[in-house]
Amino acid sequence: MTSATLARTKEGIIKWALFLCALFAIFAIIVITVYLFANGLPFIFQTGIDKFLFSSVWNLNAGSYGIAAMLVTTLVLTAMATLGGGVFGLLTAICIYKFLPRFLKKPVGFCINLLSGIPSVIYGLFGLSVVVPFIADYLSLNASGYGILSASIVLMIMVLPTMVSMSLDALNATDPMYYEGALALGSTKEEAVFKIMVPAAKSGIFAALVLSCGRALGETMAVILVLGGSVNYPTGLTVSVRTLTANIAMGAMELTGDDLTALVACGVVLFVLTLLINGVFALFRSKMKHV
């Protein structure tokens, strides 16, 4: 065997190994999708799409599986957390980018990244023992601290590391000449950052928002402890509510039969929701690039 053929076989093996790895990921997504739809869709049709999606009565004992209230809660909570976390995160990133003294940049960035290493159940416990009592004592009108207000505060903290580090990367990746040019033309530091650098980094910041949104949508363990858990529309900031993910997690270990299938059907709705959100964001993003 010549050294050339040996090299070619080696290359072939590596190529196939890489291909298999890629195949595994695709295989996983196909299996999960098939599992979800094969189990969930027949259930949704059997219950009736309108009853499943537009009724808010979720009572397992009576066989009513309506997810409208939980769907609305999921959307409202995700929007609140993404918005709050997005604003806080972007401003934090800007602060680290240009407004912090050099020797503080590393430690502050390190502290924020540390947040992403904390298990989500710890966030939940923090929310349960600090945020919920505080809201109940000082802000709530009905003496209860559970609800979307506490949940969105907890989620806001959880999406911060993603939001901050990704927007900071985006800001750092923009050409510093823009900034210097703006200063040279007589703009202040604030104007240069907010009017030149942030718009220049908008595509990266948008990507950060999408990822934060995904995390807020999928987060279960943290919100399950502070949401309250009753199936209600979020008619107030401190009304006990339940999200779709919380609904699945609450029942997944205990329920059987039709009740369990109903949870898989909730999973289908979440799956479609994730696809929709990603699709809408992708559309926005491609539009933004063309402008």
Partner 1 sequence: MKSIAAIAALTLLTSLTLSSCGAKEFDSSKPIQVITREDGSGTKAAFMEIIGLKGQPDVQNAIIQQGTAAVLAGVKNSMYAIAYDSLGYLTDEVKQISVDGVEGTVENIQSGDYKIARPLNVVYKEATVEGNPLYSAYLDFLASSQAQEIIAENGYVSMREGEEFVVPDNLEGTISISGSTSLQPLMVLLAQEFEDICPKVSVEVNGGGSGVGYSNGENGVSVFGMISEEFAQDKAPSCVPFTVAKDGIGIIVNLSNPIEDISLSDLKTIYDSEAEDPIRSWEEVIG
**Considering the rule CB under 8 A, would residue 136 count as an interface residue with partner 1?**
yes
Q: Which two tokens stand for residue 7?
A: 């090299």
Nearer to partner 1, 128 or 160 (CB): 128
Q: Is 254 in the site for partner 1 (CB under 8 A)?
A: yes
Name the residue nearer to partner 1 (CB basis): 210 or 242: 242
Quick note: the x/- pattern for partner 1 over 76-105, rule CB under 8 A, is ------------------------xx--x-
The reply on whether position 132 binds partner 1 by CB under 8 A is yes
User: Are 135 and 149 in contact, with CB atoms under 8 Å apart?
Assistant: yes
Question: How many residues at the interface with partner 1, by CB under 8 A?
Answer: 38
Minimum Å gap between C-beta 250 and partner 1 is 4
8 A C-beta contact, residue 96 and residue 109 = yes
Q: In the chain, which ranges are continuous DSSP H helix? A: 3-47, 49-54, 68-94, 102-115, 120-126, 132-138, 148-173, 176-184, 189-191, 198-200, 202-218, 221-226, 244-252, 257-290
Question: DSSP letters of 77-135?
Answer: HHHHHHHHHHHHHHHHHHIIIIIS-HHHHHHHHHHHHHHTTS-HHHHHHHIIIIIHHHH
Binding to partner 1 in span 146-175, by CB under 8 A: 146
66 lies in the site for partner 1, by CB under 8 A: no
Q: How far is CA 36 from CA 42, 93, 211, 261, 269, in A?
A: 10, 38, 23, 10, 10
CA-to-CA dists, residue 88 to 82, 141, 163, angstroms: 10, 26, 9
> Interface with partner 1 includes 139 (CB under 8 A)?
no
Binding residue for partner 1, selected from 11, 137, 180, 191, defined by CB under 8 A: 137
Stretch touching partner 1 by CB under 8 A, among 27-35, 81-89, 175-183, 229-237:
229-237
Radius of gyration of the chain (CA): 24
What minimum distance in Å lies between the beta carbon of 243 and partner 1?
Answer: 12
Stretch that binds partner 1, among 70-78, 80-88, 138-146, 159-167 (CB under 8 A): 138-146
| Of 56, 116, 240, 274, the one binding partner 1 by CB under 8 A | 240
Question: How does 227-241 read in b/e, with b if 16+ C-beta sit within 10 Å?
Answer: bbbebbebebbbbbb
CB nearer to partner 1: pick between 131 and 208: 131
Q: Which residues bind partner 1 (CB under 8 A)?
A: 59-62, 100-101, 104, 125, 128-129, 132-134, 136-138, 142-146, 224-225, 228-230, 232, 239-240, 242, 249-251, 253-256, 259
